[in-house]
Structure 1
Amino acid sequence: MPSILNVREGVVNGLIKAASNDPYGERLYGESSHSDGWGFVSLVTGNPTSPLMFKSLKPIYLDPLSPKILMGAHEGQGTLIEMIHARAASTGTPKNITSTHPVYSTTNTGHEVFMVHNGSFRRDDLARYLNLGPGYGASYNDTFIANLALAGRVGDGITVGDLKWLLGYVKTGANLGILMVKYMDGRLSEVQLVVGSYYVKANDGKDGARDDYYRLYWCSGNGINVYASSTIVNYYRPVNLPNCTPLRNGEYHSYMVDANTGKYTREVWVLS
């Protein structure tokens, strides 16, 4: 039975390879690499400290630190909750640490919200919703602004209504990982993870390529849940990856995790 560390190592190596050569991205967008930075956020249940976040502007496949940092990020005996992302910046968006994923914001009640995203939101519409002043485009990408808007409207958790509202601002797609970290009396109390896939069909002869590019897989077994891109699963699949099932377009999974015990519940949301 493979351990989470064995599975994780295979997924990380698959991500590095996929970021260097993404055949699905080449087919749909003419871009074969995710070269505009990378990052991760990680926490282990039962650990009283805050989540660990790291971001770099270097391509993950050229950054000499990426294997060392990623392979050393999991410490402790609790449940590992983690999001890792390699960015391919949308045209016209800034390439800076703020816009490198995971992007970060806080709610009005002090909870933390991290987001990784593949696709694009209508940045200007979200900026108008937030009443941002001129000049935001030089500093913030669409994902940062989307996460800022989401964090500003959620209460003690992200609801299906919150997600549906956010998807109303999608331009091309929203393959999303959203991590909400909640605190009580200064300590981690609960973690919510929302992950799933949605993309807009354009009826331009490329919808088959969109299906391939945005397809997200849920790989589960032996107490392990991994969500991975179609490129990782279909081109660079790790040997120890559990059984993988593709999510439907508009399907998201919401996990509520006890930050002390690691016990969780999962809901399936299907939006269109």
Structure 2
Amino acid sequence: MCRMVLAVGRVKDGETLVDTVKSLVNAASMDPYGKEFLNEEQHRDGWGALIIGIRDSSVAMLHHRSVKPIFEDNPVGIIGPFLKSLDDVVVMMVHARAASTGTPINIFSTHPVRAITNGGSELYMIHNGSFSKDLLLKAADVSEGVASRYNDTYIANLALARRIGNDVGRDDLTWLLNHVRTGANLGVALIGSDYVSFVAGSYYRLLNDGRDGARERYYRVYMCEVGDLTIYASSTVIDHYRPSQLAKDNCRIIANGEYHKYILHNNGDMEERQVWLLSR
């Protein structure tokens, strides 16, 4: 399983984003919720980031992936200068991975994974939870032999890309949730020719097995607002390592099955946030 932070909105400088990444590093290094729920206190199976900056109709992007543990690498040194250069519209997704048992640990399976949609757009995904990989193979048009090199998130993103053209709709996400095994805390970014479509949210299955309390503590996602910037973060990041810029009163837990969609245009315009309440 994994820890992640996401951001969307407008920034004057990247310091808040840098500090949020630092908190993610701490959460990946020592995760009390992971220890409680999965007996995993570290997320050491690679990390990655997608950062998109839009200013004056100019778009810049950084996509980085590494199989090193995020807390043994230098994420602030690698992506920090880019974050600090941002001065307007931004989308950020940063992910620290703890691979599920039996899943490959390689650069292909390190998030954010990438695919090309039917319409020629780029589709990126980060994910905490697991999909039923076998059920997605046909939709992804991938053989079992080839699929063995990739994790469930890669196959899920590829299957979603095969389904869509140049946007991610509510029905598309509902379809994807029908293939969830344990949970789908997600960040999805679709990069089109003149806009970015971004979705963030949380879903996890409750099993009534006496462990739903620990399950909720592990899977819950916070939404925090700082000026014109909205940050989404895994529970450990906020409950145990909350950055000083993220006031507790400005953070809330999003509902199980709640997803938010944003559309950001290359001219700097941002459309009003859409809220989707989905269930299986």
**Which structure exhibits the higher relative contact order, with contacts defined as CA atoms closer than 8 Å and separated by 6 or more residues?**
2
Contact 1:94/1:137, CA 8 A, preserved across alignment: no
CA 1:3–1:212 in structure 2 vs 1: closer, same or farther (change >3 Å)? farther
Could you tell me which residue of structure 1 aligns to residue 225 of structure 2?
220
Pairs within 5 Å for 1:4-19: 4-19=13-28
Q: What SS does the corresponding residue of 2:14 show, helix, strand or coil?
A: helix
Bigger shift: residues 68-77 or 118-127: 68-77
1:4 & 1:218 partners in 2: Cα distance?
20
Offset of residue 50 of structure 1? 5.4
2:234 & 2:132 partners in 1: Cα distance?
23
Contact 1:45/1:262, CA 8 A, preserved across alignment: no
1:235 & 1:3 partners in 2: Cα distance?
26
Bigger shift: residues 237-246 or 109-118: 237-246
1:204 aligns with 2:197: no
Q: What SS does the corresponding residue of 1:135 show, helix, strand or coil?
A: helix
CA 1:3–1:236 in structure 2 vs 1: closer, same or farther (change >3 Å)? farther
1:126 aligns with 2:136: yes
Bigger shift: residues 239-248 or 142-151: 239-248
Contact 1:57/1:95, CA 8 A, preserved across alignment: yes
Could you tell me which residue of structure 1 aligns to residue 164 of structure 2?
154
2:59 & 2:13 partners in 1: Cα distance?
21
Q: 1:252 aligns with which of 237, 259, 266?
A: 259
Contact 2:116/2:122, CA 8 A, preserved across alignment: yes
Contact 2:190/2:196, CA 8 A, preserved across alignment: yes
1:241 aligns with 2:250: no
Offset of residue 4 of structure 1? 4.8
1:158 & 1:147 partners in 2: Cα distance?
11
Could you tell me which residue of structure 1 aligns to residue 270 of structure 2?
263
Offset of residue 3 of structure 1? 5.4
Could you tell me which residue of structure 2 aligns to residue 36 of structure 1?
45
Structure 1 counterpart of 2:137, which letter?
A
1:115 aligns with 2:120: no
2:146 & 2:245 partners in 1: Cα distance?
43
Structure 1 counterpart of 2:79, which letter?
L
2:269 & 2:69 partners in 1: Cα distance?
33
CA 1:168–1:212 in structure 2 vs 1: closer, same or farther (change >3 Å)? same
Offset of residue 264 of structure 1? 3.0
Q: What SS does the corresponding residue of 1:241 show, helix, strand or coil?
A: coil
Can you list the C-alpha shifts for 1:170-207, whole angstroms capped at 9, x where unaligned? 00000000000001xxxxx1111100000001111110
5+ residue gaps, structure 2, are 1-10
TM normalised by structure 2 equals 0.91
1:49 & 1:177 partners in 2: Cα distance?
20
Contact 2:49/2:94, CA 8 A, preserved across alignment: yes
Could you tell me which residue of structure 1 aligns to residue 29 of structure 2?
20
Contact 2:18/2:76, CA 8 A, preserved across alignment: no
Can you list the C-alpha shifts for 1:78-132, whole angstroms capped at 9, x where unaligned? 2121100001111111111111000000111110100000000000110133342
TM normalised by structure 1 equals 0.93
Contact 2:117/2:161, CA 8 A, preserved across alignment: yes
Offset of residue 76 of structure 1? 4.1
Could you tell me which residue of structure 2 aligns to residue 186 of structure 1?
none
1:134 & 1:39 partners in 2: Cα distance?
26
1:138 & 1:131 partners in 2: Cα distance?
14
Structure 2 counterpart of 1:20, which letter?
S
CA 1:157–1:137 in structure 2 vs 1: closer, same or farther (change >3 Å)? closer
1:259 & 1:29 partners in 2: Cα distance?
42
Bigger shift: residues 159-168 or 89-98: 89-98
